[in-house]
């Protein structure tokens, strides 16, 4: 059975479970040309049974690209230097979660935290390409 596009997905980290989903948004601007310049992809992560949540946002601009429907697929973000991450992959979500926790996010806090995804990108990219969450065949 296919998963509905907006349904949360589960991620297990040790004994903890997290719910996460990927989305796309624009600033509320009437002019469609200007609105397209405000694209951003976001990743929402929440620890199961905890009220706090984390929004990791990737805004378009300065050579940084996010999915806009024709050049990149949904959930894809591309750094200005050409490296990319697919936010739909659980290993990428885990790498961003680890980077956010290392940056000080507390999954048990009773607050919503917004972080710039580009600030976490290098750490997450290094983790995902290391084979830690995407094991390479021997």
pTM over 0.75: yes
In a domain, 62, yes or no: yes
Q: How far apart are CA 126 and CA 121, in angstroms?
A: 8
Q: How far apart are CA 93 and CA 100, in angstroms?
A: 10
In a domain, 136, yes or no: no
Q: Would you give per-residue pLDDT tens digits along the chain (138 residues)?
A: 444 555 788 999 989 999 999 987 666 666 665 555 667 789 999 999 999 999 999 988 887 777 765 566 678 888 989 899 999 999 999 999 999 999 999 999 999 999 999 999 999 999 988 777 766 555
Q: How far apart are CA 106 and CA 122, in angstroms?
A: 20
In a domain, 57, yes or no: yes
The confidence score (pLDDT) of residue 68 equals 66
In a domain, 112, yes or no: yes
DSSP secondary structure string, 93-138? HHHHHHHHHHTT--TTSSSEEEEEHHHHHHHHHHHHHTTSSSPPP-
Non-local CB neighbours of 72 within 8 Å, separated by 6+ positions: 65, 66, 78, 84
In a domain, 94, yes or no: yes
102 CA to centre of own chain:
16
Q: How many domains does the chain have?
A: 1
Domain that holds residue 117: 10-129
In a domain, 2, yes or no: no
3-state secondary structure of 65: strand
In a domain, 123, yes or no: yes
In a domain, 1, yes or no: no
């Amino acid at each position: 059975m296919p998963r509905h596009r907006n349904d949360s997905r589960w991620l297990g980290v040790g004994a903890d479970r997290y719910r996460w989903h990927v989305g796309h948004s624009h600033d509320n601007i009437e002019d469609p040309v200007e609105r397209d310049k405000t694209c951003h992809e976001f990743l929402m992560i929440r620890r199961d049974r905890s009220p706090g949540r984390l929004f990791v946002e990737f805004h378009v601009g300065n050579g940084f690209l996010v999915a806009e429907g024709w050049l990149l697929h949904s959930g894809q973000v591309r750094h200005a230097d050409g490296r990319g991450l697919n936010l739909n992959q659980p290993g990428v979500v885990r790498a961003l979660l680890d980077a956010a926790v290392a940056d000080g996010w507390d999954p048990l806090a009773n607050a919503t935290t917004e972080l710039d995804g580009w600030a976490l990108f290098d750490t997450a990219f290094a983790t995902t390409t290391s084979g830690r969450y995407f094991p390479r065949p021997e």
